[in-house]
Copies of this chain bind each other. A is one copy, B any other.
């Protein structure tokens, strides 16, 4: 496949974000695509220096890129929610990343946290809604700090928002061998939102007769992720349930060091954004302890999204080979060493 220019915005962010993104870029370069990375200094440091999280002008500039690679956002020196909401979630919302795609797949040979599970049992993809639900940020507080305080949060769900992500999930399911789609929600308690999600799945199911549909409450699904992960092929769920279940997915599929994700704008009206599922891990930042594999796998998703599927496959294969080697034992490696090893495989 012919290589093409990719205009890539890079937001290393906070904590280990910088370290893992450096390795991701190394691999991206080694795979032989022409990339023009432009770094954006956004995150805790910028916030402390200038008070800015994501200036409007920067947001508009970012809109012009082919894709965004993000490391991680969040630092204990900034009150919870500021960077998350005004930077990360703002990007997801502004660029209409309504599909948050998170594969939960056990690489052959990787140890899972589960006792009686083999690699074939864990091969699913979670399609998490990315622009609605409790992440809308609506809610408020009254009489803060008094014994009469009331704090509310609101989950906003629209037919428009639910239908498009459910349709995406049906398409995904249709393209996979098992062709199974499981809706995860809590319809017995969140009756209004649950009803909208369930009706939408039921309606679209008629357009996809080849796809089997299934339903699981979020509590039962969390249990099944551990006890019967083979139940799941494609999972579609709302923003918050997706957040929870994909971290759980990472835990069963080799750990958060391997979990990749894409915030996708399927219509390509704005750049999609790729990031590891893990956070900024301030406790180990700057020590070369972070595993860059999740970022490198996110780079593979990025390549795939840009139509460079052969390159994506090469990166994935390099990671798979590297993982087999790590399982064979050997010294524990630094962030850079893991990046170097995978880079060597991609180039070689």
Is A270 interfacial (CB 8 A cutoff)? no
A-B contact pairs, 15 of them (CB 8 A): A81-B188, A81-B191, A85-B191, A112-B115, A113-B115, A141-B196, A144-B195, A148-B159, A151-B157, A151-B195, A218-B243, A223-B248, A223-B251, A226-B226, A244-B244
Q: Mark A160-193, 1 if CB is under 8 A from B, else 0.
A: 1001000000000000000000000011111111
Q: What separation, in Å, do the CA atoms of A80 and B202 have in the docked complex?
A: 15
For this chain, the copies found in one complex come to: 2
Out of B114, B154, B186, B198, name the residue touching A115 (CB < 8 Å): B114
* Stretch from A13-21, A131-139, A317-325, A338-346 forming part of the interface with B: A131-139
Q: What separation, in Å, do the CA atoms of A143 and B158 have in the docked complex?
A: 10
- Interface residues contributed by chain A, number (CB under 8 Å): 72
Q: Is the CB of A222 within 8 A of B194?
A: no
Is A255 interfacial (CB 8 A cutoff)? yes
Q: What separation, in Å, do the CA atoms of A247 and B217 have in the docked complex?
A: 11
The interface residues of chain B lying within 8 Å CB-to-CB of A192 are: 139-141, 151-153
A158-B150 contact in complex given A226-B113, A227-B251, C-beta closer than 8 Å = yes
Q: What separation, in Å, do the CA atoms of A135 and B114 have in the docked complex?
A: 31
Residues of chain A touching chain B, judged by Cβ–Cβ distance below 8 Å, are 74, 80-81, 84-85, 89, 111-116, 134-135, 137, 139-141, 143-160, 163, 186-196, 198-199, 218-220, 222-227, 240, 243-248, 250-252, 255-256, 279
The interface residues of chain B lying within 8 Å CB-to-CB of A113 are: 114-116, 226-227
The interface residues of chain B lying within 8 Å CB-to-CB of A244 are: 218-219, 222, 244
